Amino acid sequence: MVSGCTNVNYKTFDKAGLSLQYPGNWTEISSPATDQKLANQSGFNIIGVFIDGKSIDNYSFIMEIGVCNITNSSLTAAADNLNNNYIIKEANQAPFVNRTSLKNGYDAIVYTYNATGVSSRLTVFASTYVFTKDNKTAYYIIFATPSNNTAESQKVIQNIVDSITIK
């Protein structure tokens, strides 16, 4: 179970060398074609989309996970590519960018911004984490919620991010 959570059941996502825990009431949905196209243009492939809600246009939280090979590149280049080909297509303003390390020591670049989802058309607050363990594989996770940037949504995001392990 994710540290700090007591009354929530969690599921484990484990794919493409990435493992994390997310709330058990979230449902996996098919990757929206528009999102997949933007991810592919950024050099990434979507490997999971999860929602707390009924559909891509009716949710209270969404988490999208992608992966790419960066052997001939760097985390910064991968993050810039994702920003230039995906994030700015949704962002309603220039994203705030922060370079950090995740709990397990993985280098990360975090983008936070208000956006309009290309598939959902919902206005959301989004946080996108782009991270790597070894500068060979980069992952991204987009978290978005139409309920804005609340302490509760930040706690959900932090719990998931703190559970990340890369094999």
Residue 2, in any domain of the structure: no
On whether the CB atoms of residues 127 and 143 are closer than 8 A, the answer is yes
pLDDT value at residue 2:
47
Query: What is the distance between the alpha carbons of residues 11 and 5, in angstroms, rounded to a whole number?
Result: 13
The answer, as to whether pTM is greater than 0.85, is: yes
Mean pLDDT of the chain: 92
CATH of the domain at 158: 3.40.1000.10
* Residue 148 scores a pLDDT above 80: no
For residue 101, what pLDDT is reported? 95
Q: Which domain holds residue 112?
A: 10-166
Instruction: Classify residue 105: in a domain, yes or no.
Output: yes
Report how many domains make up the chain. 1
Contacts of 33 (CB under 8 A, 6+ apart): 119
In a domain, 4, yes or no: no
Query: 1 lies in a domain?
Result: no
Q: Note whether residue 157 is domain-resident.
A: yes
Task: Tell me the C-alpha distance between 90 and 164, whole Å.
Answer: 25
- Residue 36 in domain: yes
Element (H, E) at 152: helix 151-162
* Mean pLDDT, rounded, for 66-92: 92
17-21, 71-75, 152-156, range with the lowest pLDDT: 71-75
Q: What is the predicted pLDDT for the residue at 5?
A: 46
Q: What is the mean pLDDT of residues 47-61?
A: 93
Reading the block at residue 75, the tokens are 């985390």
**Is 131 within the bounds of a domain?**
yes
Q: HSE-up of 162 (CA within 13 Å, CB side)?
A: 11
With CA atoms as reference, report the closest residue to 17 among 120, 106, 149, 122.
106
Any domain includes 94: yes
